[in-house]
Structure 1
Amino acid sequence: MSGTVSAIERFRVFVALDNGPGHPMFPGVGFITVPELSWRHIDAPTDVVEVGQRVSCEFLQFDTYNAEARLSLRGTQPDPFQAFADRTTVGQELCGTVTRVVPFGAFVEVGDGIEGLMPSAEVHGRPASGPVESFQPGDNATFVVTDIDRQRRRLVFSRAQEAPTLDEPDKP
């Protein structure tokens, strides 16, 4: 379905559809929830669309209670996570940038909006008890892919083992 972005709210975008269903107050209205705007993480709907912009969307369902069409903008685009998962294997080392540090770990971007979690336990070798002290947003490092969950679109990383130096003997 195609139409024009007519209003942007915090949690959804309203689209005046070219050939949309009737609505008691706003004929031909559809809406796109924030998760359906993009495959990538966004901070606000205005990161993707603006009022007056023409869009083509995938029809998801019709909300009979509100007489609105539920739409998806991301449904018209290929999923970058699936393409990433096709070319990545568990155990593979990747360079990444820490985007956020939270009490249970650090989020790491490994390319073009593809982000995964490195749990605190993977950093310290113990259960998570606080923020990951060894990382700050913007830090670059090498990480190992420990899990790829295609269905839930999730990646899990651990810190890559650094090669021992000549001064340090290998530890068993």
Structure 2
Amino acid sequence: MTREEKATFAAGCFWGVEYMFSNIKGVVKTEVGYTGGTTKSPTYQQVCTRNTGHAEAVDIIFDPSIISYEELLYAFFKNHDPTTPNRQGVDVGSQYRSAIFYHTQEQSEMAKSVMNSIEKTDLYSKPIVTQIVAATQFYPAEEYHQKYFEKNGMKGCSVHN
């Protein structure tokens, strides 16, 4: 029996990030929410004020026998623009920052390694500004945000394809 693992990513509006990860084979569960801030149990309205310090993020449970953390990292970098600080497309604010919230030292090292190897390619013309920080308390978003695209018949809003 394989032990499932957790990953947490922030890459702009969490609806599109969740949709993208939920469609990757080996991802068992996704949940959108808020992390990386100082306010306990923030609401969407509070996070939108930019005063809580939280990022819109996605908690992912994955089966490493099907997909590796490294493969999730490459999907993360491929599906948003990690060169724009506090912004993805029309969404502007610190809650839309690009961040990897690692749960283990191995995840931290892998995130740095993948980011360094992507920076050596010509995939992006500007430097990557993605934060790599230790995971903190994750607060699930309100129910209407969970699986938002599926509930509303949408297919995604990837900024970078």
Both proteins in one fold, TM over 0.5: no
Higher RCO (C-alpha under 8 Å, 6+ residues apart):
2
More helix, by proportion: 2
More strand, by proportion: 1
Larger of the two Rg values belongs to structure: 1
